[in-house]
Chains A and B, each alone.
Chain A
Amino acid sequence: MAELTLVDAVRAALAHALEEDPTVVILGEDVGVDGGVFRATEGLWQRFGRDRVRDTPLSESAIAGMAVGLAAQGFRPIVEIQFQGFIHPALDQIANHAARLRNRTRGRLTCPMVLRAPYGAGVHAPEHHSESIEAIFAHIPGLRVVIPSSPRRGYGLLLSAIRNPDPVVFFEPKRLYRAQREEVVLDGADLPLDTAFTLREGRDLSVVTWGAMTRDCLEAAEALAAEGIEAEVVDMATLKPYDAATLLESVRRTGRCVVVHEAPRTGGFGAEIAARLAEEALDALVAPIRRVCPPDIIPPLPRLEAAYMPSQDDICEAVREVMAWR
C-alpha cells in the first residue's frame, strides 16, 4: 500500500510489468536517463537497463512502427508519446498496422502494444500540449482506447493494457497527474478493460464522463446534492470497446443523461454516447441528452484556457436544465 499520485501509479505499473514479464520494453523520447518529461519512467532506465527502457530518436511514426515490429516478434512494447498533440505522425502506424495486424494475417501475427500519451488541457501548457483527441482513436476498429481517472485506476488499467494481447492507446489526463494522492495496493492486480466504473451512485440522472473531467463531475455532483439532486457519475474508462451495459443500465434507471468531455463537440465521443442512448434507451429518457463540452474550437493558449474548459458550473447548469424537464 502506498499513497500515490496518478503519475506515481503509472510508474509503479510500468515497473511491475517490466519486473514480471521479460518481453516488456519501454520506448520513447526522453524516457531513459531523464525519466520522461512527466517523470512517468523515472528510475526505470537505471533499474532495468537500456535494453528494456530505451530513449529513441525524435521520430513518432517510426517509434510506433517499430513497436509493431517488436510486437509481431513476441515483445510487449510500451511506447510513450510525449504529448498527445504529437501523436499524429504515429496515427498511420496505429490505424494502418497496429490495429489491423491480427485481422490482416488471420491471427498469425499480433500486436500486443501500448501507446501511452499524456493528454488534455487545464495545465497552462504551450501550444499543441492540451489536445483531447480520444475520439479519433475510438473510431479505429481493432484498437482499445483507455483513459484512467485516478491513481488506482491508472495502476490497474495500465497493467491490463500491457497484459492485453491487442494494441491499446492509453491516454493519461495530465491535469490529474499530481492532483490527487490515493492509497494504491501495488500487488500487480489489474482492473478490467472494456468496463465503465460507477464512481457515484445517484437516482436522478446519469453524468457520463472520462479522464480529468471525472473529478469535476464528482465535485459538481456533491454541489448538486446540496440542492437535492442525486447525480450518478459514470467513468467510461475504456472508450473502445466501451461498456454499453453499464451506460444503458444507468440511464434506463435515471431517465436523464449529461455527457461531459473536454474534447470539442462535433464527432466527440459524447456523440457516440448520445447516439447509443437514442438507439437503445429512448423509451426510458424523460429529457433530452445534454453534452457539456467545448465548442469546435482549438484549445486556446493559457490566458484564455479557462473559457475553453467545461467548468463545474457548466456541469451543474446542464444538470439543472435536464432536471427541469418533466
Chain B
Amino acid sequence: MQSGPREMDETAKGHGIAFSRFLTPDGTLSGTAPGFASDRAELVALYSGMLRTRAFDAKAVSLQRTGRLGTYPSSLGQEGVAVGLAAAMRAEDVLIPSFREHGAKLWRGASMKELFLYWGGDERGSDFAGPREDFPDCIPVGTQYPHAVGVAMAFTLRREPRCAVVVGGDGSTSRGDFHEALNMAGVWKLPVVFIINNNQWAISVPREAQTAAATLAQKAVGAGLPGEQVDGCDVIAVRDAVERALACGRGGGGATLIECITYRLSDHTTADDASRYRDDNEVSPHWAEEPVARLREHLVKAHGWTKAEEERLRTENHAAVEAAAEAYLATSPQPVTAIADYIFDALPPDLRAARDRIAEGGNG
C-alpha cells in the first residue's frame, strides 16, 4: 500500500499539483527552505509546540485509559500540521478545526485545561478564554468547511485583512460540504485556507479506498482553486505553505487547498483498535518520518541543540501538562441546570419550567 510522503504521479502532475518538503526524514534541510527555517529561535518554537502537543496527547490518552477522560483522538505523528498551520496564522485569523488540531488550538491560546475539559465531557472546554472567535471542534466530519466560507465572507464584507483556516482529514474530502465550500470560496475569491491532514486513514478505511484521485490537493482544481501537497511531517513545509496561502488570501487572491501528507501513528480515537484493520508492519516505517524526531535531528545537527535544552523543554512540558490535568480534574462540574441554560438566549416558558424541575433533581 502506498502511503506517506511520495513523489507526485502523472495524474497529479497533470493537474499541476506541486509537492514541497524542506526537511527530510533524517533532519537535513534543503537549500531552498524559507527564511525562518534558518532561525534557531523560530525552529525551537515550532519544536516546542510539537513536543507540547505530543505530551498533551500522551496525557490525554493516559487519562482516558484510567477512566478520567472521555473518548479522545490523538494527533500522534500529525503534530507538524497543527503546529505548522497555527504558527503561520495571525492572532486575528480564525481557526475552524476538525477534532485533531490540539496543537493548533494550544498554539493559538486555548489552554490545556480547556482541551481536557472538552474531551472530559464539559462544554466549558469550548469557551476558550484565548481565541474567542475560533470555532469549537467539529465532530460531524466535513461539516466545518462551509463555516469557513461564512467567516471569510464576514471578513470580506468588513474589508478586514483576515483569513479563515479550516482543517479536515482525508475522509472529509469525500463529503459534499467539502466540495460545496471549495466551490463557494472559489466563486467569491474568499480568504480561506483549506488544510487537509491526509493521515491515510479514515478510521479503518485507507486513503486508497476513499478516492480514486491521485492526490487530494487536485480536488481544488475542479473548484478553480490552487491546490498543493506538502510533507505534513515537515513542520517547516507546512508553515511555509500556509503562510503563502494566507498572504494570498489577505491580498485578495482567494482560497487555497493544502494537502498535508502525514500518517496516523495512533488509533483513530481511544475507542478504536487499529490492529483490527492494519498491520504493525504497515505502521512501523512511518515512525522514521514523524515530525518531532525529524526536527530534533535537525536542531541537533544544525543548531547545536543540547541534551540539557531538550531535558529542560521536556520537564517544562511535563509540568504544564500535569498542572493542567490536575486543574481539569479539580474542576467542579457545571450545575445540572446548565443543560438548559444555553439552548436559547432567553429561556422560553416550557424550558424554564423544565429547568426548575431539573434544579429539584428531576429530569425536566
Interface residues in chain A, defined as those with a beta carbon under 8 Å from any beta carbon in chain B: 25, 51, 56-57, 59, 61-75, 77, 89, 92-93, 96-97, 102-110, 141-142, 144, 164-166, 194, 241-242, 244-245
Tell me, rounded to whole Å, the shortest Cβ–Cβ distance linking A273 to chain B. Answer: 13
Tell me, rounded to whole Å, the shortest Cβ–Cβ distance linking B206 to chain A. Answer: 25
Classify chain B's interface size: 35 or more
Taking CB atoms and an 8 Å cut-off, the chain B residues in 143-169 that contact chain A are: 143, 145-155, 157, 164
A71 contact set on B, CB distance < 8 A: 150
The CA-CA distance from A305 to B237 in the complex, in Å, is: 62
Interface pair B342/A102, CB less than 8 Å apart: yes
A96 contact set on B, CB distance < 8 A: 140, 143
**Chain A residue with Cβ nearest B123:** A106
**Chain B residue with Cβ nearest A107:** B342
**Chain A residue with Cβ nearest B339:** A103
Interface pair B143/A93, CB less than 8 Å apart: yes
The CA-CA distance from A73 to B50 in the complex, in Å, is: 30
The CA-CA distance from A106 to B349 in the complex, in Å, is: 20
8 sample A-B contacts, Cβ–Cβ < 8 Å, listed by A number:
A61-B180, A65-B149, A73-B133, A105-B123, A106-B126, A107-B127, A142-B343, A244-B349
Interface pair A69/B183, CB less than 8 Å apart: no
The CA-CA distance from A244 to B149 in the complex, in Å, is: 39
Interface pair B343/A103, CB less than 8 Å apart: yes
Tell me, rounded to whole Å, the shortest Cβ–Cβ distance linking B142 to chain A. Answer: 10
**Chain B residue with Cβ nearest A64:** B146
Contacts A93-B146, A97-B143, A109-B136 aside, 18 further interface pairs with beta carbons under 8 A come to A65-B147, A65-B149, A65-B177, A68-B146, A69-B148, A69-B164, A71-B150, A72-B150, A73-B133, A96-B140, A103-B343, A104-B126, A105-B127, A107-B127, A108-B127, A165-B345, A166-B345, A244-B350
The CA-CA distance from A57 to B177 in the complex, in Å, is: 13
Interface pair A108/B181, CB less than 8 Å apart: no
B345 contact set on A, CB distance < 8 A: 102, 110, 164-166
B150 contact set on A, CB distance < 8 A: 65-73, 77
Interface pair B343/A65, CB less than 8 Å apart: no
Tell me, rounded to whole Å, the shortest Cβ–Cβ distance linking A281 to chain B. Answer: 15
Main secondary structure of the interface of B (DSSP, over half): helix
**Chain A CB within 8 A of B328 CB:** no
A61 contact set on B, CB distance < 8 A: 146, 176-177, 180
Contact with A along B334-358 (1 / 0, CB 8 A): 0000000011110011110000000
**Chain A CB within 8 A of B132 CB:** yes
Given known contacts A73-B151, A73-B154, is B126 in contact with A62 (CB within 8 Å)? no
**Chain B residue with Cβ nearest A164:** B345
The CA-CA distance from A64 to B348 in the complex, in Å, is: 25
Interface pair A69/B128, CB less than 8 Å apart: no
Given known contacts A102-B345, A105-B136, is B146 in contact with A62 (CB within 8 Å)? yes
**Chain A residue with Cβ nearest B124:** A106
B116 contact set on A, CB distance < 8 A: none
B128 contact set on A, CB distance < 8 A: 108
Interface pair A51/B136, CB less than 8 Å apart: no
The one of B145, B148, B184, B348 in contact with A56, judged by C-beta atoms closer than 8 angstroms, is: B184
B94 contact set on A, CB distance < 8 A: 73
**Chain A CB within 8 A of B135 CB:** yes
Among B135, B147, B181, B345, which residue has the most Cβ atoms of chain A within 10 A? B147
**Chain A CB within 8 A of B187 CB:** yes
The CA-CA distance from A167 to B143 in the complex, in Å, is: 17
**Chain A residue with Cβ nearest B350:** A241
Tell me, rounded to whole Å, the shortest Cβ–Cβ distance linking A326 to chain B. Answer: 33
Given known contacts A56-B184, A73-B133, is B177 in contact with A62 (CB within 8 Å)? yes
User: 10 tightest CB-CB pairs across the interface, nearest first?
Assistant: A69-B150, A65-B146, A73-B154, A62-B180, A241-B348, A66-B150, A69-B147, A70-B150, A103-B342, A62-B146
Interface pair A66/B153, CB less than 8 Å apart: yes
Tell me, rounded to whole Å, the shortest Cβ–Cβ distance linking A154 to chain B. Answer: 22
The one of B123, B187, B349, B350 in contact with A103, judged by C-beta atoms closer than 8 angstroms, is: B123
The CA-CA distance from A71 to B157 in the complex, in Å, is: 13
Given known contacts A57-B183, A65-B149, A72-B135, is B342 in contact with A106 (CB within 8 Å)? yes
**Chain A residue with Cβ nearest B346:** A165
The CA-CA distance from A194 to B151 in the complex, in Å, is: 30
A70 contact set on B, CB distance < 8 A: 150-151, 153-154
Given known contacts A57-B183, A57-B184, is B147 in contact with A72 (CB within 8 Å)? yes
Interface pair B136/A62, CB less than 8 Å apart: no
A73 contact set on B, CB distance < 8 A: 94, 133, 150-151, 154-155
